[in-house]
Amino acid sequence: MMGNNDRQAYDRNSNIFSPDGRLYQVEYAREAVKQGSASVGIRTNDGVVLAAARRVRSPLLEERSVEKLHKVDEFHGVASAGHVADARQLVDVARRAAQVERLRYGEPITTDQLTTEISEHIQEYTQSGGTRPYGAALLIAGFQDGDARLFETDPSGTAIEWQATAIGGGSDRIREELEEQYDPEMSVEDAVALARDVLTDEDDEDGAEPTIAVITADGYEPRDGGE
């Protein structure tokens, strides 16, 4: 039977597997994501909607300072959940990747390329000594050449493509609602209304209006406080 000291050794190191094949620090990072307010992504034929709930814990807080949605380039945006500072670092990684692609090849980065760059960077922090996993997850949305894409990355560096999904606190409940209400033929405006609906929590007295951004053939468009 494994002693407490052995358990603590696996618990403290992000790059050592436990005997049952687990990376505890990565699992803890996933739990950190669940402590953050929720973000939602909904893909339609005409674009992608990103929306994020905001917790305003004081009437003195400036709502615009709570940033959950970020523009990466003209046709890409991300929504975050988890530690805000960690998410900011990942947003910077995404923006640099988009700039490098543009400068090197004279073309905009594709959504799957952008997702790969971010997820590979995240994964490095699960196997490098002296580092810890990012305590944030991202929804990466893009629209190029008539093709809407929506990906999720988590603290392990795993990337998954979705039609509609949620990350952060209450994401399981929100995903269930999306499964019931999502229609792949819905319009962008219908998706905006659905995102607002699933992010509304009557029991959350600290909640403010969600921030929303839409990515279509016209580019990234912030709405209701999106960056």
**Structural contact between residues 42 and 148, judged by C-beta atoms closer than 8 angstroms:** no
Q: Is residue 6's pLDDT more than 60?
A: no
Closest alpha carbon to 29 in 153, 112, 129:
153
Residue that wins the pLDDT comparison between 200 and 143:
143
Number of H helices and E strands in the chain, helices first, is 6, 10
Torsions phi, psi for 99 (to 5 deg): -70, -40
Tokens representing 226 are 């999106």
How far apart CA 149 and CA 142 sit, in angstroms, is: 5
- Tens digit of each residue's pLDDT (9 = 90 or more) over 33-74: 999 899 999 999 999 999 999 776 666 666 666 689 999 999
**Structural contact between residues 50 and 79, judged by C-beta atoms closer than 8 angstroms:** yes
Q: Of 105-109, 189-193, 199-203, which gets the smallest average pLDDT?
A: 199-203
Q: What integer pLDDT is reported at residue 16 of this predicted model?
A: 75
Kindly report the pTM of this predicted structure. Answer: 0.89
Distances (CA, A) of 145 to 108, 110, 218: 11, 10, 11
User: What CATH fold (topology level) applies to the domain 39-223?
Assistant: Glutamine Phosphoribosylpyrophosphate, subunit 1, domain 1 (3.60.20)
What one-letter code names the amino acid at 54?
R
- Would you list the domain boundaries of the chain? 39-223
Tokens representing 101 are 């692609």
**Structural contact between residues 137 and 156, judged by C-beta atoms closer than 8 angstroms:** no
Tokens representing 28 are 């803890």
Residue that wins the pLDDT comparison between 139 and 130:
139
Neighbours of 59 (CB within 10 A): 5
Q: What integer pLDDT is reported at residue 202 of this predicted model?
A: 42
Q: Is residue 1's pLDDT more than 50?
A: no
